[in-house]
Amino acid sequence: MSDQREFRKPGNMPGDSRREFFKRAVRGTAAAGAIASAMASAARSPAQASTVNYASAPSKLEITDLKVLRTGGPGRSGWNWLFIKIETNQGLHGVGEGSLQFTDAALTAELLNFKDYLVGKDPFRIEHIWTSLHRRVSWTGGPVTMSAISAIDLALWDLKAKALGVPVYELAGGRVRDSVRLYANGWFGGANGPAGYAKRAAETVKRGYTALKLYPFSGEQVVTPQRLERGVNLVEAVRNAVGPGVEIGVDVRGRLNIWSARRAAQRLESFDIAFMEEPILFDNASAMAELARSVRVPIATGEQLYTRWDFRELLEKNALGILQPDICHAGGMSELKKIASAAETYYVTLAPHNSNGPISTVASLHLDMSIPNLLMQELVLSLLPRYNELLTSPLEIEDGHAVPPGGPGWGTDLNEDALEQYPPHTFTPVESEGYRGY
């Protein structure tokens, strides 16, 4: 077992398989559900959350508090993770995440404003609460409000599933697959030039991952021949290192204009990439669709879009095959299920974005288990050690696939003592952010 608590690949475990891998998680769920009602729900450790019999509870289950928990993320100056904990009058709680990079102050204020509405509400009425937070206000939408709604929604799904003694994906319709295929991000740290990227890519594939993502392009929107050549050389080196059977995603982060993106796409065709992510900025659906139709590599986008209404226009253009909503920003579990259903009617697949903290990752896995049109799930490998410090039950990864931790709710909780070991970073908006090349 590595420092990332990954299981050995099936090839190293005779008779093992991803199905057996999933069965272990199911057995963990059953065991956790059986003992959950005996746990001390008011204990300091969030791992000791209880399961309650909602139907026979002596008093109505009500929300009593919403707490904001912040912690500093690893290796990112000024980039924090922001979680919430929704508590009830019966000691049961749920945890969610709305990490929004450098927007902690605004997001915290929005969550505390919503807290006044939530206190006294029935936490089982997830759809009603979501709609109320989104529609029964004078101003709505955008990254701050939607990240707050996402965090609340995720916490409510966790809370309700704990109360009923089932994993969240069971509430979401049950599993449609035994495990979730991952595409690896964050595998290239410290790599320098094509040779360095090739070495790291080969090492990552040996660990069982069959899909990788990298960021070969940087700088301002108009690409120069030198920048174009550098990016193409990196992708070529990775393709040569991993062979034709491994998928490669190229994330441009909106750094190019249409003219430059077309030039880059033409050069990338020969490497059979899985997708070219956000080749241009996200906020013009017509331009994104026009670009997608004019190139021969798959185009993916969606990490900075919110709710099914933002995704509707892209779907109606019938130009993109891959959407990448973020469960921490687009509306939580409730809304990503709807986005996935809308995409399915256009025969579009999802590769959910996830560069956030551990609850975002676990929640994404529960979503992925329950939607039929999943392509694969993003996972930042460099963050795994910190994830498993902050979670009461670690992520289970085997042969490039994952299942949620076994047990009710998310199957894991936040270790609040561990959160306190990493104080939130301070930052200066704009100056602290890593997008000065725009």
Domains of the chain: 171-411 (3.20.20.120)
Return d(Cα 110, Cα 149) in angstroms, integer: 9
Tokens of 234: 């990196």
- Name the pLDDT band for 118 (thresholds 50, 70, 90): very high
Which sign does the torsion angle of CA 80, 86, 91, 92 carry? negative
pLDDT score of 277 more than 50: yes
pLDDT in tens, 18-64: 556 555 555 444 444 443 443 333 333 333 444 555 454 446 999 99
pLDDT in tens, 281-296: 999 999 999 999 999 9
**Strand partners for 185:** 380
What is the DSSP-derived secondary structure letter of residue 381? G
* E strand segments, 172-331: 180-185, 211-214, 247-251, 275-277, 299-301, 322-323
pLDDT score recorded for residue 25? 54
Averaged pLDDT, 218-239:
92
Helix axis angle, 104-118 relative to 142-164, nearest 10°?
A: 50
| C-beta separation of 340 from 302 below 8 A | no
Starting at the edge strand that comes first in sequence, how are the strands of the sheet with 63-72 ordered? 63-72, 80-88, 93-97
Mean pLDDT computed over 259-266: 96
- Please determine, for residue 7, whether its predicted confidence score (pLDDT) is greater than 50: no
Q: Does the pTM exceed 0.85?
A: yes
In this predicted structure, what is the pLDDT of residue 283?
A: 92
Does pLDDT of 304 surpass 50? yes
Is residue 16 scored above 80 in pLDDT?
no
Token pair in block for residue 402: 């994952």
Give yes or no for residue 11 having a pLDDT over 90: no
